[in-house]
Amino acid sequence: MTLLSTRGLSKSFSGLRAVHEVDFDLPEGEVRALIGPNGAGKTTFVGMLCGRIEPSAGSVSFDGHDVTALPAHRRIRAGMAYTFQITSIFGRLTCHENVALAVRRRNGPLSDVTHALDRVGLADRAEQLAGDLSYGHQRLLEIAMGLAQKPRLLILDEPTQGLSDTEIDAFCALIRELKAETTILLIEHNMAVVMQTADRITVLNFGEILAEGDPDQIRADRTVQAAYLGTEDA
């Protein structure tokens, strides 16, 4: 079953084409990675999926329903959760309180707070102020907030940025574990993470889909190598 799809999704800013007529399908239960060079349109595309950016043209469907006109909070209620490229936490609240807000949003039990923090390795920091965490731990806290919502679709934008090698290994293990529970869209520059965790990969370039396939297909694709994998600029 296709959980998320777009048709002809486009966005221009003052005449500058950021995303152009993207047709995209994400089946339920899949881990999909979205990659591409800087300026490829990834953040704009995800913003339209989440409802934070209004498309210039095209449509977004989620769970068989057209959600193109729905605001972000309505999409969250429908089962989407996402983390931002720049962390979005409440710095003056504890880690426990941050996750509790996400749990209360869906009227879930507070026991889910401890479970979510434990899954990302922050159970021992539950009473620490979120603003005092390292940047990497703030990223993990935001993932815990997303998990606490028990979403049908979890969108993670640059989740490993600021994480140590050990934390990245734990993150990859978590993604493999979560695959049985939720569909994941992963926007990630760390290609080792992408190749380890993704079932399929979509490559954006100049606002259009350049290629799609499994990790082996994308690794061997010469157009992708030329546009992205063969450069250091991610």
Task: Spell out the domain ranges in the chain.
Answer: 31-53+72-229
Q: Which pLDDT value is given to residue 229?
A: 62
Q: Which pLDDT value is given to residue 226?
A: 85
Closest CA to 25 of 52, 62, 57: 62
For 215, other C-beta atoms within 10 Å of its C-beta total 17
| 14 touches 210 (CB < 8 A) | no
Residue with tokens 């290609």, as numbered in its chain: 191
Q: What fold does the segment set 31-53+72-229 form as a domain?
A: Rossmann fold (3.40.50)
Q: Which pLDDT value is given to residue 227?
A: 79
Three-class secondary structure of residue 203 per DSSP? strand
Closest CA to 115 of 77, 76, 145, 136: 145
Q: Which pLDDT value is given to residue 231?
A: 47
Average pLDDT per block of 10 residues along the chain, 234 residues long: 97 94 97 94 95 97 97 93 74 95 85 94 96 91 92 93 90 91 94 96 96 95 81 40
Q: How far apart are alpha carbons 10 and 8 in whole angstroms?
A: 6
Closest CA to 19 of 45, 37, 38: 45
